[in-house]
Amino acid sequence: MSEERDAVFRRLDAVAAEAAALARALPPAAGGLASASEGWPLVIVAYHIGLGLHRQAGFIARALTGERPFIFAWEPTHELNAVMARDHATLSKDEAASAIEEGLARLRAIASRMNEDAWSREVFEYENRRRSADVVLRRIVLPHAAEHLASMRRTLSPETGAR
């Protein structure tokens, strides 16, 4: 694995570990607290991080399967997020934390089977621009998880009184 990619995985490990720990430590009143950025209950934000890791691992896995790049569009993603928030509103904080850990484990399992050629394969397309597995990891997977973790932190900051 390249040194840069290894650094991205170390950062992603830290983000996922913190998000899972925050989810597990949510006080009863905070689990349903609307998040600062998404407006979802915090437990759903944590679950969303896990689902994101799982879904994005699927994009990256295309480097191994030879499938065409995943064509991303915002509208179906927003619809998926709305269904997820609605259907999992009563999710426990432990289930949300486990989703993060399982999503990261899936991503790591896929990454462990990839060589440098696989990391350079195009696996994702948005607005007619294709991205390699490596770019998806650095510019989509890590920022997605980090941004949602930041929202959880802001929501739980002392100013909100949620802790």
- For 79, the 3-state DSSP assignment is helix
Digit-coded pLDDT (tens) for 78-118 = 898 888 888 877 789 999 999 999 999 999 999 999 999 99
Q: How far apart are CA 2 and CA 5, in angstroms?
A: 5
Residue 150 has pLDDT above 70, yes or no: yes
Tell me the pTM.
0.92
Which structure tokens are listed for 66?
């030879």
Residue 142 has pLDDT above 70, yes or no: yes
pLDDT band at 28 (very low <50, low <70, confident <90, very high): confident
Under DSSP, the state recorded for 69 is: P
pLDDT band at 124 (very low <50, low <70, confident <90, very high): very high
Q: What per-residue confidence (pLDDT) applies to 163?
A: 47
CATH of the domain at 26: 1.20.120.450
Q: Of 140, 163, 158, nearest to 28 (Cα)?
A: 163
Q: How far apart are CA 66 and CA 77, in angstroms?
A: 23
Q: What per-residue confidence (pLDDT) applies to 27?
A: 86
Q: How far apart are CA 130 and CA 124, in angstroms?
A: 6
* Angle value at C-alpha 127, between 125 and 133, nearest 5 degrees: 20
pLDDT band at 157 (very low <50, low <70, confident <90, very high): confident
| Chain mean pLDDT for the chain | 92
Q: How far apart are CA 24 and CA 31, in angstroms?
A: 10
The domain total for the chain is: 1
Domain of 153 in residue numbering reads as 3-160
